[in-house]
Structure 1
Amino acid sequence: MRKLAGRVALVTGGARGIGKAVVRVFAEEGASVLITDVLEAEGRALQEETGAATRFCGADVTSETDWATAVTVAEREFGPVSVLVNNAGVVEFGSIEETDPAAFRRVLDINLVGPWLGMRAVAPSMRSAGGGVILNVSSTAGLMGYASLGAYVASKWGLRGLTKAAALDLAADDIRVCSIHPGPIRTPMTAGMDDSVTISQPIARFGTPQEVARMALFLAADATYSTGSEFVVDGGATTGSMVLNPPQD
C-alpha cells in the first residue's frame, strides 16, 4: 500500500524546486495534492504531468483570502486537508545596512507570515480530517547565521520557532508540526551558486529536491512520534568545519 493513500495534501510553492519534488513524491505515494503557487503556467504544467492526483490553485501565501480559497478548493476536489507543506519562500541578499526595509518585510511576509496564515487556514480542515501533519520548510539558515542574508535568516529562524509554538497549540487536535532544514539544494533559488559552497561539507555536493521530498514523505507518513522537531537535510553542513588534511607526525 502506498504510504499516503487517502491523504489530501496542500503544497505551497509547488510549481518548481523542492515543492515540485514534494508534489511528485506525494502523488506517487497515493496522496491527492493541491499545488499552489504564484507561477501559474508552471503549476498547471505540473498538474498536467501528474494527472488526476493533483489540482492547481494560483495563490499568494501572503493573502489570507487566497489561503481560504485554496483550502476550499482542496476540500471540494479531494476532501479535508491532512498534510500541509509550507514550502513557498524567497531570498534577498544584502547586509543589514544595504537591505531595503521594504525588501526585508517582503521576505518575512512570504517566508514567515505566509506559513502562519497557512496553519491558521488549514487547522479547521485538519480537525475535520481527524488530524494531520504540517511541514514548515525552513533552512540551515534557521539553525545558523549567514552574512548578507539577514532577512532570510530572520525569517527561517522565526519559522523554526513558530513550528514549535504551533506544535504545542495543535497537539490536542492530533496535528503534528515539524520543520525541515535544507542546506544547499540545487533549485532555481540556488542557480547562481557554484559547487564551492559545498566544499567543506562531509557530503561535498548540492542536494537534490528529491532528497528533501523524501524527508517530507518520511515526516508525513512515518514520523508519528515527532512534533515540534527539526529535521536537517544538508549534507552535514551544520556539523562544523572539516579538517581535510590533518597534520602528520
Structure 2
Amino acid sequence: MSVFELSGRKALVTGGAQGLGEGMAQALADAGATVVVADLQEELGHKVAESLGEGHAFVKLDVTSDEGWEAAIGEAVGHLGGLDILVNNAGIEITSLFTEIQADQVKKMLDVNVLGTALGIKHGLRAMRPDGPAGKGGSIINIASVAATIAFPGIGIYSGTKSAVERMTKVAAMEAGKLGYGVRVNCIFPGLVPTAMGAGLANDVAELGLFASPEAAVGAVVELTPAGRLGAVDDMADAVVFLASDASRFITGAGLPVDGGMGM
C-alpha cells in the first residue's frame, strides 16, 4: 500500500465549500479519506460533500466561535467515528494600503485567520490526543500563505495573519510532541492561485494603483516565481495529502512552501 494512501482516515476541512478548501477535500477523498466539509456556506458546503460521494458530510462552522468548533468537532467525530486529519483552511483577505486600513477589517482578518486557526488547533488537539473522543493521534495542517514570506504590496495585514499561522504551527507542534499527543502539526505556504480570492486580489491591487492592471499584477507574481506560472488548486491539495499521509510521518512543525519558488 502506498504511503500516500489515506483509506480509513477521517478528515475535516474548514472553508471547504469552495476554492482551495474544496480542492483539498476532493484530494483527501480521492486518496481514500472520509471527509467532513466545514463552512458557513451551507448550500455550497452540502453540494461539495455530496460531490465527494457516499459517506462524506457537511457541518456548518463559524471558525471564530469556540462553541462552534466544539460542536462541529463533536458532530464530525460522531459521523466519522473518529478524526485523524484536520485542515485549517478557512481564511479571508481584505486588500488595503497601510495608510487606508480600517480597524474593523483588521479585526475581521485577525478573527478568521488567527483566532480561527488557533481554535482549530485547540479543538483538533483535544479530539486527537489519547484522552480525546478520537484519541488516535493524527495530523493538523494549517494553511498559511506565501504572503507570510514575501513583501507584496497591499496585503500587509493579511501577511501578518499568515505569519502568525506559521508561528502557531511550530508552537503547537512542540506542545503536541512534548505532551505525547501523537499529533503532527504542519502548515503550507500556498502561492497565488486563480481562485475567487486570488482573482480578487489582482483586481484590488490594480484598483489601489499598485499595478497598471490586474493582468500586470498577475504578471508580476509570475515574474517572481521561478516555476514561471501561478499555482493550481491541485498543487496545494496534493501538498495537504502529503502532510496528512504516512509519507510525512517524521515531519512536524514544518512550513512547506508550495509557491513555485516565489518565497525562497
Same fold (TM over 0.5): yes
Q: Structure 1: which 5+ runs fail to align? A: 240-249
- State yes or no: 1:80 paired with 2:96: no
Deviation at 1:53? 3.5
Aligned match for 2:225, one of 201, 209, 216 = 201
Give the distance between the partners of 1:95 and 1:162, measured in 2 at CA. 26
2:12 is matched with 10
Give the distance between the partners of 2:128 and 2:154, measured in 1 at CA: 38
SS in 1 for 2:82: coil
TM-score normalized with structure 1 length:
0.92
Is the contact made by 1:184 and 1:198 (CA closer than 8 Å) also made in structure 2? no
- Counterpart for residue 186 of structure 2: 178
Query: Which residue, 237, 240, 245 being the options, matches 2:262?
Result: 237
Q: Displacement of 1:20 after TM fit?
A: 0.5
1:66-215 equivalences under 5 Å are: 66-127=68-129, 128-171=134-177, 172-192=180-200, 193=202, 194=215, 195-196=218-219, 197-215=221-239
Gaps of 5+ in 2: 203-214
Q: Which amino acid aligns with 1:173?
A: Y
SS where residue 94 of structure 1 aligns?
coil
After TM superposition, which residue ranges in structure 1, 4 or more long, deviate above 3 angstroms? none
Give 1:50's aligned residue.
52
Q: Give the C-alpha shift of residue 199 in structure 1.
A: 2.5
- 2: CA distance between counterparts of 1:95 and 1:182? 22
* Residue 8 (structure 1) shift: 0.9
Task: Decide whether the 8 Å contact of 1:82 with 1:125 is kept in 2.
Answer: no
Q: What count of residue pairs does the alignment treat as equivalent?
A: 239
**1:172-192 CA distance string (max 9 Å, x none):** 211110110011112110124
Deviation at 1:152, TM superposition (A): 0.2
- What is the CA distance between 1:98 and its match in structure 2? 0.6
CA contact (8 A) 2:193 2:232 kept: yes
Between the aligned residues of both structures, percent identity stands at: 34
1:233 to partner: Cα distance: 0.7
**Is 1:223 equivalent to 2:223 in the alignment?**
no
Report the AA paired with residue 217 of structure 1.
V
Deviations 1:30-88 (A, max 9, x none): 11111001111111111121122310011110011111111111111112211110000
Structure 2: how far apart are the matches of 1:47 and 1:157? 30
Matched to 2:120, the amino acid is G
Q: For residue 6 of structure 1, report the CA deviation from its aligned partner.
A: 1.1
